[in-house]
Amino acid sequence: MASRLILRIQERFARLTSSEKKLANIFFENQTLIETHTATELAALAGVSKATTARFFRTLGYTDFDEVRLQAREERNRREPYVQSEPVKGVGSLSHTLSEHLELELRNLSRTFEEIRSDLLPEIARTLKSAPRIWFLGFGDEYGIARLGRSLFTRLRHGVHQIEATGEDWASELSMTGPRDVLILLSFSPRPRLLSVLLAYARTTRMRIITITDHRYAPQAQRFSDHVLSCHVANYDILPTHATMLSMLRLIALAYLGQNAEAVSRRIATLEAINEELDLSE
């Protein structure tokens, strides 16, 4: 959920000076910085003066930096701790009721989408629009979701692929990637050791990386990703849930469609014409 600090920044963003917007952007990227950094350190991160930092918080309606930090700590103390698994009380409880299942999935979805920055999806849509090619990558259960993501985005634009390494032939597929391509990484635990090697190669070839992952891995994903979309994935211990990841993929697709409606319409018309010519649909 967006903090009160983030909400105030969003409300007043248009009225901020260019220097103040630099500060705003570092909080958009990581709102927890208010608790871990001093005012001087925040100024250095944003490349602005300490006086600008003080003026920034006053513009947002705070008396000083200490008031902002106190508010952030109070919000953290009230926030429900993130859980990966819901408690299981024995074999009989493995078969949960429909209402319990629905409640848990709705909580995951609600918390996930409440915490997305309002400017993040439009940024991702612009990144995808400018990409020569889009590549999907997933291991384990996420392999199938990567395949679904490729199918979904193929309807929206050309140049959409999945890194599958059929027969473990990673080199052949990676050789087709290039600068400004986008890699959409779908990654929940457990993660193979090979992943770090593939990500290092992607960065070397100047691919841009969008990672959809769980909350626990999100801080680590920030180190190598251009954009991170973190999902709440609390589950009933034995069976993982991918509902938030699937919904996030569709949300990205809708954001892309919103910015490229005319091009997508042409793409769909082309696909329909080919299907008609091939007589593949009833």
pTM of the full structure: 0.68
Count CB-CB contacts under 10 A for residue 211.
23
pLDDT at 96: 59
What is the third-level CATH fold of 4-78? Answer: Arc Repressor Mutant, subunit A (1.10.10)
pLDDT at 33: 84
Comparing C-alpha atoms, which of 241, 240, 235, 236 is closest to residue 89? 236
Query: What tokens appear for 89 in the block?
Result: 């009380």
Residues 181, 204: contact at Cβ < 8 Å?
A: no
Q: Domain 107-276: give its CATH superfamily.
A: Glucose-6-phosphate isomerase like protein; domain 1 (3.40.50.10490)
Comparing C-alpha atoms, which of 219, 218, 250, 214 is closest to residue 233? 214
Residues 3, 75: contact at Cβ < 8 Å?
A: yes
Residues 257, 267: contact at Cβ < 8 Å?
A: no
Taken in order 247, 252, 256, 258, is the CA torsion positive or negative? positive
Strands 208-214, 227-231: pairing is: parallel
Residues in the chain where the model's pLDDT stays below 70: 1-2, 76-96, 166-168, 237-238, 280-282
In the chain, domain spans: 4-78, 107-276
pLDDT at 92: 41
